[in-house]
Amino acid sequence: MTAAVARLLNLPEVFTLAGFCKVTGFSRNAAAVCLRRWKTRGLIEPAGERAGIYFNKLKRSNIDSSDRIGALLFEYPTAILCGESVLHAAGWITQIPARLSVAVLARPSYVSLHGFELHGRPRSWFRKVHGMVNAAGNAKIYGLRALPTALALVDLYGDSKAWHPDVDDLDIPEEDKDAVLAAGKLLRIELPVTVRELCEARSAR
């Protein structure tokens, strides 16, 4: 048994750089060199560039979505599925997002993680959506708490850096159009005229 294999067998399925240093007694620099070698040999897989979170492939050879969600929640416990990921899951758009969009508590810089598009939101935003996200009956999507679909749509229009669906891209169920208007008021986000008119036509009936 090589030294690398012996050390990996003493580590959990998912571990951090700090945890590795604690178990081995290595300095951060020595640990970084060791982990780079293990990555090259295919013994570990980083959860993201410079994330400091690693999957132990000796103990878990196939890294699946639940593993990646676990790494996400380790780094961002506040993570909430948002944006086009929610819209696609609900059938409001047909475009398939390349990565899962998640809202996380805003910070000066972010640790990127493979498979996720991060959107920083202030604490006040989390307070506004808290009740609806955690309402009874709101099922998790892809293992994550998720914005209600109407809120996810409106929140997209409030993010200048996010993809904005055109009205022709949307298939909003009739029974949800009032909820879209209400979400705009809650988040204080001005909807595009075409989307607002589409929803108001339902409300006026």
Average pLDDT score over the chain: 90
pLDDT, one tens digit per residue, over 43-87 is: 999 999 888 899 999 888 888 898 999 999 999 999 999 999 999
Distance CA(47)–CA(141), nearest Å, equals 20
DSSP one-letter code for 4:
H
Whether residue 205 has pLDDT greater than 60: no
Q: For residue 1, which amino acid is it? A: M
Q: What contacts 182, CB < 8 A, 6 or more positions away?
A: 150
| Distances, alpha carbon 193 to alpha carbons 115, 156, 166, 196, 201, in Å | 33, 15, 11, 5, 12
Does 157 score more than 90 pLDDT?
Answer: yes
Buried b (16+ CB within 10 A) or exposed e, 136-152: eeeeebeebbbbbbbbb
Place 160 in a pLDDT band, splitting at 50, 70 and 90: confident
Domains of the chain: 3-63 (1.10.10.10), 69-203 (no CATH)
* pLDDT at residue 137 in the model: 65
pLDDT in tens, 13-32: 899 999 889 888 889 999 99
Structure tokens given for 157: 């229009």
Residue 110 clears pLDDT 70, i.e. is over it: yes
- Give the strands of the sheet with 116-121, arranged side by side: 80-81, 100-105, 116-121
pLDDT per residue as tens digits for the range 124-155: 999 999 888 887 567 789 999 999 999 999 99
The 10s digit of each residue's pLDDT in 163-176 is: 888 888 899 999 99
Q: pLDDT exceeding 90 applies to what percent of the chain?
A: 64
Give the pLDDT of residue 190: 93
